[in-house]
Amino acid sequence: MAVSTLVDKFRSTGLALAEVTGGEPLLQPGTVPLLQQLQGVGAVLVETNGSQDISVIPEGVIAIMDVKCPSSGASGAMDWENVSRLRPRDEVKFVVGDRNDYEWARQAIRKKQLSRRCQAVLIGTVFNQLNPADLAAWIIEDCLPVRLNLQMHKSIWPEAVRGV
């Protein structure tokens, strides 16, 4: 779809917030123009896996940088220079699958001082893999400066409706 078509479709919804996500949006050449044009319609967020330079994200667009934990198999793709590119309104998100992922995320949050670099650090569980109550207990025990962030869309809509 053309960027202008996507923007028109968003405008027709009457919604005030758009989030661009799916795969790695920053690999798509039309993403930056899409983000720029969506800003004229409402607030804009982009969710990235952190493997691409986030400095290309237009000012005013909130980046949600997903840091892949070891159990994802994709943690090696992270561009850690992106930590220095975070802006005050951006967010960082971790999705943990087990206690080892949590320990890894906790170390990264503390070592990189993520809670001081951005608006929020979010941490959630891999859906149906780790009990959210366990994660909440670990966060409380460690006084970790994060928000618990569960993948609500996976609870609300069945897989056949939302895709994988």
In the chain, how many domains are there?
1
pLDDT level of residue 63 (50, 70, 90 thresholds): very high
pLDDT level of residue 164 (50, 70, 90 thresholds): very low
Contact status, residue 87 vs residue 114, Cβ threshold 8 Å = no
* Amino acid, res. 9: K
In a domain, 84, yes or no: yes
In a domain, 158, yes or no: yes
In a domain, 37, yes or no: no
* Amino acid, res. 44: V
85-126: pLDDT as tens digits: 999 999 999 999 999 999 999 999 999 999 999 999 999 999
Domain that holds residue 144: 48-162
In a domain, 113, yes or no: yes
Contact status, residue 7 vs residue 34, Cβ threshold 8 Å = yes
Residue 162: the pLDDT is 59
pLDDT at 163 over 70: no
In a domain, 112, yes or no: yes
Three-state DSSP state, 16: coil
In a domain, 95, yes or no: yes
Three-state DSSP state, 23: coil
